[in-house]
Structure 1
Amino acid sequence: HGRRVYYRCNKAKLRGPQCSASIHLLYHADSDQVTVYKTEGEHDHHDEKVRGIDENVKKCIEELYNDEQWCEGNVEVPIDENKAFAVSYKILYDNEEYEDNEDIEEDGNKFHIFISSVRLLNIASISSHLHADATYKLVWQGFPVLIVGTTDFNKAVHPFGLAVCSNEKIKDFEFIFNSIQVGMQKINKDLLKPTALISDAADAIKNGFTNIFGSSYNQIMCWAHMKRKVNNRVCQIDDKHIAKEIIEDIEMLQLSNSTEVFKLASTLFVKKWNMNNKQKNESILDFMNYFYNEWLKTNDGWYEGIQVYTPSTNNALEATNRTIKDDGTFRERHILSRFLTIASNIVNNWSIERDITSIKGKIFATEPTISLELWTLSYQWAKSTKDIICISNDSSKTYYIPARDLQSISQANLNKYKNKTWSTFNQFTKSFDIWCMEMDNGSDWRKSKCSCPGFFKNYICKHVVGMAIRLKYCKPPPSAKTVPIGEK
């Protein structure tokens, strides 16, 4: 006998149904002993708050632990060039922190994993420009799956690997770009020194890239992305004819064949529309203000001539993302370790496709392929009777070619073209009446450069091939000669 003190489960409300689990203590009257009595009933209260670790969090931690095991098991550089491996990974649990956490706002587990293969890293080692894209990324269970890669001389995409991150902030992109450098070290290659980054306007990508590769590179803004944004904005101009003309002018600006030309032409573009808008139409002012700040000051790398042999869009990379999206692989809600297996298979397939010995191998093209259509156009162009001006020096020849169906170039127009003495935007557009082609003496004619839009798009054009045919540097295939002039 003694004093009994009853304790109820305080997870149940005081007034209302009580929880079956309860205890009481018996303080013995004849000694200092205390006995605890527990009811046999389990807790059956309705739990508003979670005690201890939430089941979902537990699951997450278990998953991350499994991933870490997966990464640790796949971190060695495999002998098989096509086998996927974890080039680099970083997994932080809830209680761990970044050394500097200036751009981490949310709590939670953070992970970064970059998967590649030896073959893909070897391709990366010979690349000069990188594609990264956050707009058309893949998403797996709300986490971004990011592909970084390059394009070759046939505009074919070659992914370097696949990264899954818990976010897409500067640190995440830094991790991805740094992983490529880690990969270079793992396969004993020199660190990458990319000359250009082609991406959308996401600051996180640009800043992450600069933090790893330094700032001496060209920031190429995806022209397709930029054009979509501008088209969405230009429709706010109330005069549709003016809106159409502005878009046409921007398309001309995009064809600028050098930074010098672009800077001058964009000044003339702004001047033209400020002059044309004497009556101070508010919607035009708003658009010009937006265009100047967004596309001439902040992101101005959307013109063709910013860098030769680099694409002006991210379309090829987006298409790769789309292929994986359409495949539906990432739509299913796999746990992370299962996802890593799937990602490894994707990397493995990319790698096998790029094996030179495979039948339909996606070989990394180091010079542009000349299609039959281009041979035909070039042959027809070579047979034309245009007056071409050739200016020769010790190492190369420069050809000034009348564009489209123009037959000759006047001295006055040539001087204006060479000196870029344009005082209006209209005069700038007239400069597209002349194409300028440079051909080095004696070296590979395929390395020639031309200022026509076709060349910037395909790294080769009918002027280069046509001139090589004229100079007997190459012979077109017989089938290119059988098409009547004027037909393709």
Structure 2
Amino acid sequence: RLLSPIRDNIRQMTDNGLTAVQIKKVMKVLHPDLFIDSKIKSAVEYKQQQNRCRIKFIEELYSWCSQRNTYPSVDKTHDVFVPYFEAVDVNNTFICLTTRQLLSTCKYSSVLYIGCTYKVTANELPLLVFGTSDFNRRFYPMGVCLISSDESSETFKTFFRGIQVWASTINNQAYTVSHVMGDGAAGITGAMCELPLARRLMCWAHVIRKVRGHGTLIKNKDKFLLVEQDIMQLQLSFSDQIFVTAANLMINKWKLDKELEKFTDYFEQQWLTVLSFWYEGACILTPSTNNGLESLNGRIKQHYTMRHKLPLSAFLQTAERMVKDWSIQNEQTPFGTHITYKDDLDLEAVEWVKKVDKTQILQLTTFNFVVPSKDQKINTSTWVNLLHSMAWDSYDHFKDWLHSARLLDFSRFLPPIFCTCRYGLKEFACVHAVGMMMLWGTRQMPQEIGKRRGKGRPKKVKYALSKD
């Protein structure tokens, strides 16, 4: 009889859909001294018989979904269920798996992150993962959908219609999606008609990756690096009007150089016309990338499918276990509706308070303030005038303006405080917000240890040649 730890490993790998041959190879790596192949095979077959869930025909898949097509009771928050499914054939399949606990996250955020991962089933069905993010930039999955295709807008239309119904039913309150974050899939864009009030955000990481892939349109590499820097500065635009105005200035700058003509046409068509909401101001205090979801997709393959294309029956069992794990983690790690500033940020804020020119700090409204940056090229009064007029002479003038001062909004009762510096836009925590609270006395300033007075009385005689 195999030892219990070895049997547990075999059970786990069997649940993940690995075959007996694959498990033997893994066991040879984990336990080189183990040569009892027959016992390993027997343990695998026994576990497979226990978990036998044969799904080969569409009728069996339909039956599997029907058995889980009931909303669980309120006390069963981690029970996995199928709120909606279609099982007609392999080209017309849509199966959603979620729990009450996961859908309860919809109460805290109206921003929806979606993305697909592939090579998880032997039937070549993509897996649609959806969720949202909190103020700590932690991604919270809300469920998965096994779909036939991610290219058709009909798939995403079905999902957009469904998620609003499922979340509203579970939470007993209306759920309206305000923003949808995803990659450049045309299916998502085509399905946005189902969410007329929502904005279709584009993942910034995908944008810059595609831009670098088209860098060959510019033969001079040094010029491309300058163009890339221009795009990165444009991405820090913190409002729609600023982005549109600055983008026009940037395009006009590029058009002066004939070597940039092809790249300019590509960028203007793809990233300023078709998919233009990839800048920070498109949705403030929200991660501008889909990296949290992409990271989760990697963990799905690493910890659940073991990077194998599982048979449909094995995958559905694995998906149930995976969604339940997410549900338990969701309960253990509550959604962050505010953030706590770290201690090291306090130390940096103290240095900022000491160095900042306090005469340059301006109050615009009850909650809005402007503070100078360390690379100030324009005084704050001129900065505010340009903020309202947006009358920049050129794109380089815009970049100088952008980095000369920071706009802060203290309208939120709890952090994060909105700030237009790079750290404020991307990490929701910066020295400017903390430093301003220290200046007002609403946040305690760390006390320096200092130096105690030495022994003896202080010297009365001054140094020679010193002035009185």
TM-score computed with the length of structure 1 as normaliser: 0.75
How far did 1:328 drift? Answer: 5.2
Q: Which residue of 1 aligns with 2:252?
A: 271
User: Counterparts of 1:77-92 in structure 2 under 5 Å?
Assistant: 77-78=71-72, 79-92=75-88
Could you tell which deviates more after superposition, 335-344 or 256-265? 335-344
One-letter code aligned to 1:63: F
Unaligned runs of 5+ in 1: 1-59, 94-107, 356-360
User: What is aligned with 2:311?
Assistant: 335
- Superposed displacement of residue 381, structure 1: 1.9
Tell me, yes or no, if the aligned pair for 1:63 and 1:336 is still in contact at 8 Å: no
Separation in structure 2 between the aligned mates of residue 290 and residue 407 of structure 1, nearest angstrom: 33
Report the equivalent of 1:469. 438
Answer whether contact 2:55 2:61 (CA < 8 A) is retained: no
> What is residue 433 of structure 1 aligned with on the other side?
404
- Label 1:68 to 1:330 Cα distance change in 2 as closer, same or farther (>3 A): farther
In structure 1, give the amino acid aligned to 2:82.
Answer: A
Q: State the structure with bigger RCO (CA 8 A, min sep 6), 1 or 2.
A: 2
Counterpart AA for 2:441: K
Cα distance in 2 for partners of 1:263, 1:459 equals 23
Q: Which of the numbers 355, 365, 372 marks the counterpart of 2:343?
A: 372
CA RMSD of aligned residues (A): 2.6
What is the letter of the counterpart of residue 74 of structure 1?
R
Q: Match of 1:34?
A: none
> What residue ranges of structure 2 are gaps of 5+ in the alignment?
1-53, 452-468
Aligned partner of 1:70 in structure 2 is: 64
Letter in 2 for 1:409: N
1:346 matches 2:322: yes
Tell me how far apart the structure 1 counterparts of residues 278 and 272 of structure 2 sit (CA, whole Å): 9
Q: Which moved more, 1:246-255 or 1:430-439?
A: 430-439
TM-aligned CA deviation for residue 172 of structure 1: 1.6
CA contact (8 A) 1:130 1:150 kept: yes
Supply the AA of the counterpart residue of 2:268: Y
- Deviations 1:43-66 (Å, cap 9, x if unpaired)? xxxxxxxxxxxxxxxxx9843222
Q: Give the distance between the partners of 2:220 and 2:430, measured in 1 at CA.
A: 38
- Larger helix proportion, structure 1 or 2? 2
Tell me, in whole angstroms, the C-alpha distance in 1 between the residues paired with 2:175 and 2:360. Answer: 41
Is 261-270 or 166-175 further displaced after alignment? 166-175
- Is residue 149 of structure 1 aligned with residue 125 of structure 2? no
Contact (CA 8 Å) 1:437, 1:448: kept in 2 or not? yes
Q: CA deviation at 1:218?
A: 2.0
Change (3 A) 1:383 1:391: closer
| 1:383-424 deviation per Cα after TM superposition (whole angstroms, max 9, x unaligned) | 33423544446x614322111254982644543344321020
Structure with greater Cα Rg: 1
In 2, Cα distance between equivalents of 1:74 and 1:313: 34
> How far apart in 1 are the matches of 2:409 and 2:435?
13
Q: Which structure has more strand as a fraction of its residues?
A: 1
Q: CA deviation at 1:171?
A: 1.8
Evaluate the alpha carbon distance shift between residue 68 and residue 268 of structure 1 in structure 2; reply closer, same or farther with a 3 A threshold.
Answer: same
**Does the aligned pair in 2 maintain the 1:117–1:351 contact within 8 Å?**
yes
Report the secondary structure of 2:207's partner residue. helix
- Of 201, 207, 214 in structure 2, the residue corresponding to residue 226 of structure 1 is 207
Aligned-residue sequence identity (percent) comes to: 27
Paired position in structure 1 for 2:230? 249
Q: Which residue of 2 aligns with 1:172?
A: 155
1:403 aligns with 2:373: yes
Which of 407, 411, 416 is the equivalent residue of 2:386?
Answer: 416
TM-score by length of 2: 0.78
Corresponding residue to 2:417 among 434, 448, 462? 448
2:144 match: secondary structure: strand
| C-alpha deviation, 1:379, in angstroms | 2.8
- Distance in structure 2 (CA, Å) of the matches to 1:450 and 1:116: 36
Q: Could you tell me which amino acid in structure 1 is paired with residue 396 of structure 2?
A: N
2:269 aligned with 1:313? no
CA-to-partner distance for each residue in 1:286-318, whole Å, 9 max, x for gaps?
111101101111111111111212211101110
Shift of 1:194: 1.5
Structure 1 residues 429 and 64, CA, compared in 2 at 3 Å: closer, same or farther?
A: same
Moved more, 219-228 or 125-134: 125-134
The letter for the 1-side match of 2:156 is F
Aligned residue in 2 for 1:362: 333
- SS in structure 2 of the partner of residue 190 of structure 1: coil
Name the SS for the 1:231 alignment partner: helix
How many Å separate the matches in 2 of 1:463 and 1:76? 50
When residues 200 and 86 of structure 1 are mapped into structure 2, their CA distance, relative to the original with a 3 A threshold, is same
Question: Is 2:93 the partner of 1:122?
Answer: no
- The alpha carbon displacement at 1:332 in A equals 3.4
CA 1:344–1:328: 2 relative to 1, 3 Å:
closer
CA contact (8 A) 2:114 2:181 kept: yes
State the alpha-carbon separation in 1 of the partners of residues 110 and 445 from structure 2. Answer: 31
Residue 165 of structure 2 corresponds to residue 182 of structure 1: yes
Aligned residue in 2 for 1:47: none
